Structure 1
Amino acid sequence: MIKKFPVYRQLDLVDCGPTCLRMIGKYYGKTLSLEHLRDVCFIRKTGVSMAGISDGAQAVGFRTISVRITLQILLDEAPKPLIAYWRQRHFVVVYASTSRHIFVADPAQGLVKYTHAEFMDGWTGQPSAPDAPGIVLLLEPDQTFYSDPDEPQNGLQLSYFWGYLRPYRRYLIQIGIGVLMGALLTFIVPFIMQSIVDRGIEYQDIGFVNLLLIGQLTIFICQLVTDFVEQWILMHISTRINIRLISDFLTKLMRLPISFFETRNTGDILQRIEDHEIIERFLTSSSLKVVFSLFNMLVFGLVLGLYNGTIFAVFFVSAVAYVAWTWAFMGARKRLNLRRFDRMADNQGSLLEIVAGITEIKLQNIENQKRWKWEQVQARLFKINVEDMRLMQVQQIGTFFITQLKDILITYMSAKLVIDGQITLGTMLAIQAIVGQINSPLGSLLNFMRSAQDAKISLDRLGEVNKKDDEDPVHADRVRQLGAWSGISFQHLSFSYGGASTPPVLKDINLIVPRGKTTALVGSSGSGKTTLMKLLLKFHEPSSGQIMVGNQNLKAIHSGWWRGQCGVVMQEGFIFSDTLRQNIICSDEMPDEERLSYAVYAANLSDLIQTLPRGLATRIGGEGVGLSVGQKQRILLARAIYKNPTFLFFDEATSALDANNEKIIMNNLADFTKGRTVLVIAHRL
């Protein structure tokens, strides 16, 4: 008997490695945080290596060894669970095996059973070569694994979002009253139908029938007005909540360290905005509807019970069967939802790449290849949609069958009761009306179950962002001023992007940047110059060693404050879709015109401004006037100069300038940099 294995799903495209570790940790009785595992595995945008997973496993208390083994060794000797390298791009957990099958926990698909040939196809790509070796990571927990406490989980709770609803309690109460009134009015309709048949028709009292029909028409008008008002109030609430949710999410995003963005695909981040909209719809629409749907079901169910206990029993059993049948498909639907998230992130990234890289695409004549790449993503999405449609159709067939069988049984039982003289024809029509009214709340319950599942998945994904520590946590007492200092020193500084198992980009660097002087750092491409600059700007933490500003460790200085003292021109500097003026002054709410004029002069921008249709007020960037690389560099220089900083850091700041512009700007900068601490990075002096 194969023991059931704990399953977690990857939340991002590149989360498979850390998720495998999380499953194995749970198997051994330890709850591990996905976000912590991402950090210790040194995950990047391109994913994670087997060496990175090994480092991460050791960091949380596993002994590990990565080996190449054959299928026979995996079956007979390898301790399980283990992590297998899958299809040259993915990682899965092998947790059990038999003489015919291998059992896999896949972060993308869940629990999967493969024949030996199928497994070999994914593991080595050679299904007919059982002796071909594949790569696995063997793990076993050591003492520290059991001694360390469980890690807090990333997932948010719905209670986190109730604060967004609280300011709108008055509106929610109004909606509640409206829905309650609608339910009560709906409750009256079956009795009107019963009275029309049993009294109006039987006694041929057309006046009574007219009166009841006028009453029914009044009820319908009241329901229409109530629904109209509810929709407007709901739109008002949902729009405001959605804006607050996404605004707070963007605020949180911008408080996170640069390393967060360097390890996520743009599509993954954008998809999390859609997650907020899913939660907003769940809170403001689905939750309210299901409460009153349940109220309607309860009231109408009691009325059915008063009419006839047997009919109520049929209704109750069918309702339970309806919910159970729907629930049986939730697991498969969750798997499809997670796969769709990954493919939608692929879709976002593919479209962004086409739009952003259109110039290079045309230069390389790869329009077809990029379109084909996008079409491949659409094909994968189509497959998921086909599976979703198939699943939904099977589910709908079952619910339709249950609903129709219930209606037929109740109709038959009601007709028989009329024939037997136990109820009137009007009562039978009232029962039919009640059954019709109950079908709608059952549909709302089905939609609520789907919406709740979507919201739970979205909560898990958003928790990864919201629970991540800010770059400068509020509780951290970071320094916001510098005392007397003599310069910046790099002391035995080493750094690696991939952890201890990857070659260091910087190794044992010792360097002094004197105060008030210009220091040039020259080196070949890929030698780590830009990485050194990023460490100096606190985009990353050193793997070992430290950076000192005088006697103050840079690590203890507030990141935002420190960057406020620095004027920086990076190789990949960004031009915003805004006016040229705003691109230079950036966040300055009360711009200094004298400083702006000097920045324009020092960066030699006057000739560019004269050619622009509105001068400094001309819109530039992605949605404005196009600029050459040299013009962009001059704007970035003007931005750094306008800031009037204590420190100036230039990374290939004039590499795209022509000789004349470079000479003019360097002469202008000579005056500006006097008395400032300047670090210049270049390929050559």
Structure 2
Amino acid sequence: MSSSESSPPDNASVLRDLWRVISRFRGRILLALAFLILAKLAVVSVPLALKRIVDELSRPEQFTTLPIVLLVGYALLRFASTLFNELRDLAFSRVTQYTVATYALNTFTHLHALGARFHSSRRLGGLLPDIDRGTSGIAFLLGVGLFTIVPTLLEIGMVTAIISARYSGWFTAALAVTFMIYCGFTLVFTARRAIFQRRVNRLDSNAKSIMADSLINHDTVKYFTNEKLESSRFQHIMDNWAEAVVGNQKALFILHIGQSGIIAMGVASVMLLAGQSVMTGAMTVGDLILVNAYVIQICLPLNALGFVYREAKDALVNAEKLFQLLRQRPEIDEPANMPALRVSRGEVVFNDVSFGYTPERPILKNVSFRIPAGGTVAVVGGSGSGKSTLARLLLRLYDVSDGHIDIDHQDIRGVTTRSLREAIGVVPQETLLFNDTIAYNIAYGRSGATHEQIVAAARAAHIHELIDSLPQQYDTPVGERGVMLSGGEKQRIALARAILKNPPLLIFDEATSALDTQSERAILSELNRLSENRTTLVIAHRLSTVVDADEILVMERGRIVERGTHMRLLAQGGMYARLWQLQERSAEVEDAEKNLQVVH
């Protein structure tokens, strides 16, 4: 089963997973349960104390003074129930919060462990609400759910035992019938309502996905003046969501009314029995008050139990997506005892490599080449020829379908991905920056880098002067995805990152394709300097950037169709020579236009 096809976990497995996490807090759990039992003993004792007070005060001739002990004891019992409940919550709060934090961290870590195939197909706007609802569901199950369901069941059991021991079996029978009808009704209708809740969650995630996607691409929306189209798309899904919520509310209405009706019938039957017993002298007024207090005491929690059960089912539904996500296995799932990559010389060999993102669409077909230690190999070709895929395979974002890739005679599938990627520096086509400071984004190349090292890397990338001229200098925020910087500035930060990382292997993946000619020439000299004495793979669109490469590979439809040095390929007069001529003409036109602008 692929990572994207994992089935939803059942409720039992969700609860088992929860127990595995919270079991390390056994001491706190036992302490919280002790406070819970003490609180319920106090609650159950309150009606008994009240009955005693009523019966005693019903015969004032027997007393010469007010029964202060009983009255104070009654007040202390009420206080004790509140005190022990608060102590229970205090003892258990660390369990709940640390468990939620653990699941949030596990999910965050797991998302980074999942492969490029998962992240290329996921919708971030829908993923985040699933995680948020899942962690909220876990908090509910541990907090309100656990400490409402368990105490309520405990209280119902204690009250039923007291009534069974003191009064007629008809009282117990009436309560038992009420409980059975109530539980049966709640189970059936809550299961039906879960269908509505899942649909609401699905539509809510879809709405968040569309919203996030539209806002991320707000420039594109404006380019094509499609604000109304985006609003129409969002309105359509929100209309469906509103209908689903209304349907869910209707199901909840039926559930609430049914539960309240069953409880009302149970209370009526017990009070009729109690009233008849008082009339016949079998029970005192104190007994009537006791039974009434107990019936209210267990029927109100019973109603709360129904509410909590419904919410707990909703919480389980909400947690399903989170646990399903945590069950997805990484596409590249390496054993724990794999050795690290050892880079001695830095030779890279692609040996008869074939690959396709999907089986029916092969991208690379039997590709073989060698990058000598300290050498530079450039790959050129049209869009869709498979050149960027070579970089992704070398970084092991995907595994090859056939063949193998070796670094210093080590198959990269036999070493840890961490050590592999630590050995490779990447300057990508599109530099995506964190919404943080310039210093943070440069320092991302090496964890724990000092400010002096960051400045040195910026100087080497020829961006220090620009940064130093800014009011906040290295503490300048770059904005979402680096929108506060130009394309050339972002590329220089990417270059500074790679310089700071100082890796033995380099990948330039169309690192200058988004720049103008002047910016490209400025950055190209820095890239060439950085690649000195390093094994370098250059993925290029502009041929002018690869003329000094030790070997140039020309790719078409996933195959290498030409290879050689720049001069040799020009002499062959093949595909590379034709591409060179086309790009030379384009460069001449661009230079002529610039000269014309200067004249004017």
Q: Quick one: which of 395, 398, 403 aligns to 1:537?
A: 395
Q: CA deviation at 1:322?
A: 0.3
2: CA distance, partners of 1:585 / 1:675: 23
2:268 matched residue in structure 1: 408
Q: CA deviation at 1:234?
A: 4.1
Q: CA deviation at 1:483?
A: 6.0
Which residue type is aligned with residue 653 of structure 1? A
Partner SS, residue 220 of structure 2: helix
Residue 290 of structure 1 pairs with residue 146 of structure 2:
no
1:158 matched residue in structure 2: 15
Partner SS, residue 505 of structure 1: strand
Q: Quick one: which of 514, 524, 527 aligns to 1:656?
A: 514
1:303 matched residue in structure 2: 162
Residue 315 of structure 1 pairs with residue 172 of structure 2:
no
Q: Deviations over 1:108-161 (max 9, x none)?
A: 9xxxxxxxxxxxxxxxxxxxxxxxxxxxxxxxxxxxxxxxxxxx9999442333
1: CA distance, partners of 2:228 / 2:258: 44
Q: Quick one: which of 404, 407, 413 aligns to 1:549?
A: 407
Q: Deviations over 1:299-319 (max 9, x none)?
A: 111122121210110100110
Q: CA deviation at 1:335?
A: 1.6
Structure 2 unaligned regions, length at least 5: 544-600
2:123 matched residue in structure 1: 265
Instruction: Determine what percentage of the aligned residue pairs are the same residue.
Output: 27
Partner SS, residue 480 of structure 1: coil
2:5 matched residue in structure 1: 38
CA contact (8 A) 1:492 1:509 kept: yes
- 1:537-616 to structure 2, matched below 5 A, reads 537-586=395-444, 588-591=446-449, 595-616=453-474
Q: Deviations over 1:648-677 (max 9, x none)?
A: 111121123333332222223323211111
1:478 matched residue in structure 2: 338
Structure 1 unaligned regions, length at least 5: 1-32, 40-106, 109-151
Q: CA deviation at 1:272?
A: 2.7
**More moved, 241-250 vs 211-220:** 211-220
CA contact (8 A) 1:569 1:653 kept: yes
Please report the TM-score for the alignment, with normalisation by the length of structure 1: 0.73
2: CA distance, partners of 1:256 / 1:153: 22
Which residue type is aligned with residue 389 of structure 2? T
- 1:194-213 to structure 2, matched below 5 A, reads 194-203=51-60, 207-208=65-66, 212-213=70-71
Cα distance change, pair 153–314 in 1 and its aligned pair in 2 (3 A): closer
Which residue type is aligned with residue 18 of structure 2? F
Q: CA deviation at 1:248?
A: 2.1
Q: Which has the higher contact order (CA 8 A, sep 6+)?
A: 2
Which residue type is aligned with residue 604 of structure 1? H
- CA radius of gyration, larger in: 2
Partner SS, residue 497 of structure 1: strand
CA contact (8 A) 2:100 2:138 kept: no
2: CA distance, partners of 1:397 / 1:247: 41
Q: Deviations over 1:18-74 (max 9, x none)?
A: xxxxxxxxxxxxxxx5x46839xxxxxxxxxxxxxxxxxxxxxxxxxxxxxxxxxxx
Residue 667 of structure 1 pairs with residue 525 of structure 2:
yes
Q: CA deviation at 1:207?
A: 4.7
Please report the TM-score for the alignment, with normalisation by the length of structure 2: 0.82
Partner SS, residue 319 of structure 1: helix
1:340 matched residue in structure 2: 200
Q: CA deviation at 1:427?
A: 0.8
- 1:4-153 to structure 2, matched below 5 A, reads 35=2, 38=5
Which residue type is aligned with residue 521 of structure 2? K
Give the alignment's Cα RMSD to 1 decimal: 2.9
Which residue type is aligned with residue 187 of structure 2? W
Partner SS, residue 371 of structure 2: strand
Residue 277 of structure 1 pairs with residue 136 of structure 2:
yes
Cα distance change, pair 483–587 in 1 and its aligned pair in 2 (3 A): closer
2: CA distance, partners of 1:201 / 1:352: 70
2: CA distance, partners of 1:482 / 1:173: 50
Q: CA deviation at 1:550?
A: 4.0
2:357 matched residue in structure 1: 497
CA contact (8 A) 1:282 1:455 kept: yes
Cα distance change, pair 359–402 in 1 and its aligned pair in 2 (3 A): same
Cα distance change, pair 595–610 in 1 and its aligned pair in 2 (3 A): closer
- 1:374-385 to structure 2, matched below 5 A, reads 374-385=234-245
Which residue type is aligned with residue 5 of structure 2? R
CA contact (8 A) 1:237 1:284 kept: no
Q: Quick one: which of 199, 217, 239 aligns to 2:75?
A: 217
2: CA distance, partners of 1:175 / 1:561: 45
Q: Quick one: which of 296, 305, 330 aligns to 1:436?
A: 296
Cα distance change, pair 308–623 in 1 and its aligned pair in 2 (3 A): farther
1:188 matched residue in structure 2: 45
Q: CA deviation at 1:421?
A: 1.8
1: CA distance, partners of 2:137 / 2:514: 46
> Comparing both structures, which one devotes a greater share of its residues to helix?
2
Q: CA deviation at 1:618?
A: 1.8
CA contact (8 A) 1:567 1:644 kept: yes
Partner SS, residue 329 of structure 1: helix
Q: Deviations over 1:417-452 (max 9, x none)?
A: 111222122211211110000113313432443344
Which residue type is aligned with residue 400 of structure 1? S
Cα distance change, pair 573–452 in 1 and its aligned pair in 2 (3 A): same
1:245 matched residue in structure 2: 103
2:369 matched residue in structure 1: 511
Q: CA deviation at 1:463?
A: 4.0
Q: CA deviation at 1:197?
A: 3.2
Partner SS, residue 680 of structure 1: strand
Which residue type is aligned with residue 376 of structure 1? H
